[in-house]
Chains A and B, each alone.
Chain A
Amino acid sequence: MNASGTGDQGRGTRGTRRETQDQGTRPDRRGEGTRRERRDAAVVPEAEFRSYYGRPIIKAPVWRYDIPAYLFTGGLAAGSALVAAGGDLTGRPALRRAGRLTTLAALSASTYFLINDLGRPERFHHMLRVAKPTSPMSVGSWILAAFGATAGPAAVSELAPLLPRRGPLGLVRRLAPSAGRVAGIGAAMIAPALATYTGVLLADTAVPSWHEAYPELPFIFAGSALASAAGAGLIAAPVEQTSPLRRLALAGAAIELAGAHSVETRLGLLSEPYTTGRAGRLLRAGRTLTALGVAGALLGRRSRVVSALSGAALLTASALTRFGIFAGGVRSAEDPKYTVGPQRNRLTGRENGRERR
């Protein structure tokens, strides 16, 4: 085995040339004494690549668990706003109520996660200083603000029955359902944007396995959002009203699984981070729970208990998927082979093309 890593002082040359088998001995990122887990054999045969002492070329995101957690709660909020509007317009009050309250709870959690992840949380309002179409985070901040401005009032309108029947508050009580409906429809119209911009948020980076997955990420997140919202509804609403949720769970799962399958197989070397290690385990667990959740939702339509268990499976699956996609990207940023390999291939391809001409 090629001598490299920390014990290799003074022999930098050999350390700059590195084969895949060699990676088990590579020191991890500076400051962390541990070695990265490398149990998984390379799935795709690779050419030898060169690097500077095996150090990453790009910086991995500094985002903590807050961001994948937000991906989940933001999707849940969006999906639940659709469930709420659907329930409202098709005369299923339990779905409307559950959808609106889940939206509000998930939206509050989202706001918390987003602010908590900032290096300077007290400056969160700087997000709305400018509107920049080149920054998916700026676009997302505005989407989230607009969503909050509609989903919030829709949820609050659910409190109307607590108001007195007479007097000025009685008037508010009578107007609340229509106001709630208008706000709820507004939220439902913004919801698909909220659920899908996050795919662009991750893809619009130099992180190799996120960037190249840009065609799939918004679909995975849209499907995952629908499935999770269906899951929340299955837990909260009586079975008589939940038939749309069962169809929604099926559709969401199908969209999500198709996207995930594509990401895991289409990207060559850049699929590897999604199928191996922590990301691979998270995504596999998510897929299993999604399948169980959908099966339970479709077969257990008469049982409140089975429905609720299926709902819990769908919610968990959605969270696992988000953490899995996140972990896969981080992994692809940490190893220079994912940055160098595809770029080298691109250069070689371009040179060959030039020669042929």
Chain B
Amino acid sequence: MGEQSPASAGYQQPPPRMGFFTDTSVCIGCKACEVACKEWNQVPDDGLNLLGMSFDNTGGLSANTWRHVAFIEQPRNGDTGSGMRWLMSSDVCKHCTRAACLDVCPTGALFRTEFGTVVVQEDICNGCGYCIPACPYGVIDQRRGDGRAWKCTLCYDRLKADLTPACAKACPTASIQYGPLEELRERAQARLEQLHEAGETSARLYGHDPDDGVGGAGAFFLLLDEPEVYGLPPDPVVTTRDLPAMWRRAGLAALTMAAAAVVAFLGRRP
């Protein structure tokens, strides 16, 4: 399967596609991933903020936040315990199979690595900003004062040295699991069934399906509520899916424009 996938990007005999499976049902909200990511990748701080969003004072993924832990407090329906439930989830770049950021990048700064991940080359990026509104998940962002676009690299440097990405390494509960994508998908399916059997019917996988709008995510999730509750789009689609139709419309508009000019000038002379 890896061979035909756009994620293999023409590499000769690439290593298996690597990814993340984030099982949010065991996340304890410790933010070790956020910290480990910042430290390893030397990502600058994004200020000391108090956002009033439960324990989330980060807000979301950005140029300076490549792992973000979301905190949601919900009333638990029909439950006898505390009456509340916590949802915690560590978000990250999805390393899409069909990545809009990479498709629209005009300089070739964004590229597909041999591991099937999506990485920005900081020596090429000229800060045009096109990838930012192209990403259907709102992941990649421009770093103020620097001007270039930044996001999770899935620790490309560590992968090359056969090391586990910093966030997965630091996660104390194995909520963040790293490995070959195929294997992770099987593991996720087993975990889903286990949770369903245990009566946790709200459990669902997100981004695991190779037939979804982005061709499946390289970093996918097990969630306990609708994606939008976590700030994730419920049905993301890579924008370039419609690009052929867009070019056709532009072609038609261009012909119309040329025709209008010809007609205007061929009209009767005054």
Q: Does B94 contact A (CB under 8 A)?
A: no
Q: Is A56 interfacial (CB 8 A cutoff)?
A: yes
* A52–B127 touching, CB < 8 Å: no
Please tell me if A255 contacts chain B, counting CB pairs below 8 Å.
yes
**How near does chain A come to B22, taking the closest CB pair, in angstroms?**
16
**Chain B residues with Cβ under 8 A from A52's Cβ?**
60, 70, 72, 228-231
In the complex the two chains form, what is the Cα distance from A61 to B104 in whole Å? 13
Q: Say yes or no: B235 contacts A123, CB within 8 Å.
A: no
For the complex, is A7 an interface residue (Cβ under 8 Å from B)?
yes
Q: Which of B59, B74, B246, B257 contacts A30 (CB 8 A)?
A: B59
Contacts of A21 in B (CB 8 A): none
Q: Interface size on B (CB < 8 Å)?
A: 82
Interfacial chain B residues near A343, Cβ < 8 Å: 233-236
A-facing residues in B128-165 (Cβ within 8 Å): 128-130, 132-142, 146-149
Contact, CB under 8 Å: A192 / B249 = no
Is B198 located at the chain interface by the 8 A CB criterion? Answer: no
**A2 partner residues in chain B, CB cutoff 8 A:** none
Contacts of B247 in A (CB 8 A): 200
B97 → chain A closest CB, angstroms: 14
Chain A residues, CB < 8 A from B262? 86
Contact of B126 among A57, A127, A199, A248 (CB under 8 A): A127
Tell me the interface secondary structure of chain A in the complex.
helix
Are B106 and A137 closer than 8 Å at their CB atoms? yes
- Complex interface: chain B residues within 8 A of A16 (CB): 72, 74, 229
Picked from A12, A130, A132, A196, the residue with its CB within 8 Å of the CB of B253 is A196
Asked whether B254 lies within 8 Å of A134 as measured between CB atoms, the reply is no
Please state if A134 and B243 are interface contacts (CB–CB under 8 Å): yes
Beta-carbon contact of A6 and B249 below 8 Å: no
Within 8 A of B (CB), among A145-197: 188, 191-193, 195-197
A188–B257 alpha-carbon span in the complex (Å): 11
A117 engages B254 (CB within 8 Å): no
**Residues of B209-234 contacting chain A, CB below 8 A:** 226, 228-234
Question: Is there an interface contact between B128 and A15, defined as CB atoms closer than 8 Å?
Answer: no
Contact B132 A59 (CB under 8 A): yes
A72 at the interface (CB under 8 A from B): no
Complexed CA–CA distance, A247 and B234 (Å): 48
A134 adjacent to B249 (CB under 8 Å): no
Could you tell me the distance between the alpha carbons of A193 and B250 in the complex, rounded to whole angstroms? 8
- Report the Cα distance A274→B129, complex, angstroms: 23
Contacts of B132 in A (CB 8 A): 59, 61-62
Contact of B265 with A89 in the complex, beta carbons under 8 Å: yes
A196 pairs with B142, CB closer than 8 A = no
Q: Are A221 and B253 in contact (CB under 8 A)?
A: yes
Among A118, A195, A200: residue with most chain B CB under 10 A = A200
- A132–B106 contact, CB under 8 A? yes
A141 within 8 A of B: yes
Q: Does B30 lie at the interface of the complex (its beta carbon under 8 Å from any beta carbon of A)?
A: no
Interface residues of B in 248-270 (CB under 8 A from A): 249-258, 260-265, 267-270
Q: Which of A10, A55, A200, A255 contacts B260 (CB 8 A)?
A: A255
Q: Is A280 an interface residue (CB 8 A)?
A: no
A51, A82, A87: residue with the most chain B Cβ atoms closer than 10 Å: A82
Instruction: Say yes or no: A192-B104 contact (C-beta < 8 A), given A119-B126, A119-B142, A340-B233.
Output: no
Counting chain A residues whose Cβ lies within 8 A of the other chain, the interface size class is 35 or more
In the assembled complex, A104 has its CB within 8 A of some CB on chain B: no
Most interface-central of B136, B140, B263 (chain A CB within 10 A): B136
Given contact pairs A86-B264, A192-B255, A347-B235, A205 touches B134 in the complex (Cβ within 8 A): yes
Please choose the segment from A38-46, A212-220, A304-312, A316-324 that sits at the chain B interface, where 4 or more of its residues have CB less than 8 A away: A212-220
- Indicate the member of B242, B245, B253, B254 with the most A CB atoms within 10 Å: B253
B124 at the interface (CB under 8 A from A): yes
Check A51 against B231 for contact (C-beta < 8 Å).
Answer: yes
| Complex interface: chain B residues within 8 A of A121 (CB) | 126
For B139, give the chain A residue with the smallest CB separation.
Answer: A59
Judge whether A120 is part of the interface by a CB distance below 8 angstroms. Answer: yes
Interface hit among B10-18, B47-55, B168-176, B186-194: B47-55
Known contacts A119-B126, A196-B254, A343-B235; A129 and B71 CB within 8 A of each other:
no
Minimum Cβ distance to chain B for residue A13 (Å) = 5
Q: Which of B107, B226, B240 is A126 in contact with, Cβ under 8 Å? A: B107
B35 contacts chain A at the CB level, 8 A cutoff: no
Q: Is the CB of A90 within 8 A of B265?
A: yes
Given pairs A127-B126, A344-B228, 12 additional interface contacts (CB within 8 A): A6-B51, A52-B72, A56-B138, A58-B233, A61-B132, A118-B127, A120-B127, A129-B108, A134-B243, A204-B243, A206-B136, A344-B234
- Can you give 27 A-B contacts (C-beta < 8 A)? A16-B229, A30-B49, A55-B60, A59-B132, A82-B257, A86-B264, A119-B126, A119-B127, A120-B125, A120-B148, A135-B106, A136-B246, A192-B255, A199-B246, A199-B249, A200-B246, A204-B239, A204-B246, A205-B134, A206-B133, A206-B134, A206-B236, A206-B239, A219-B256, A340-B233, A343-B236, A344-B235
Closest 9 CB pairs of A and B: A119-B127, A119-B147, A52-B231, A192-B254, A218-B253, A123-B126, A86-B265, A138-B106, A137-B106
Q: List residues of chain B with CB under 8 Å of any chain A CB.
A: 49, 51-54, 56, 59-60, 70-75, 84, 100, 103-109, 124-130, 132-142, 146-149, 226, 228-236, 239-240, 242-243, 245-247, 249-258, 260-265, 267-270
- Residue numbers of A with Cβ under 8 A of B are 5-13, 15-16, 27, 30, 49-53, 55-63, 82-83, 86-87, 89-90, 117-121, 123-124, 126-127, 129-130, 132, 134-138, 141, 188, 191-193, 195-197, 199-200, 203-207, 211, 214-215, 217-219, 221-223, 225-226, 240, 243-245, 247-248, 251-252, 255, 333, 336, 339-340, 343-344, 346-347
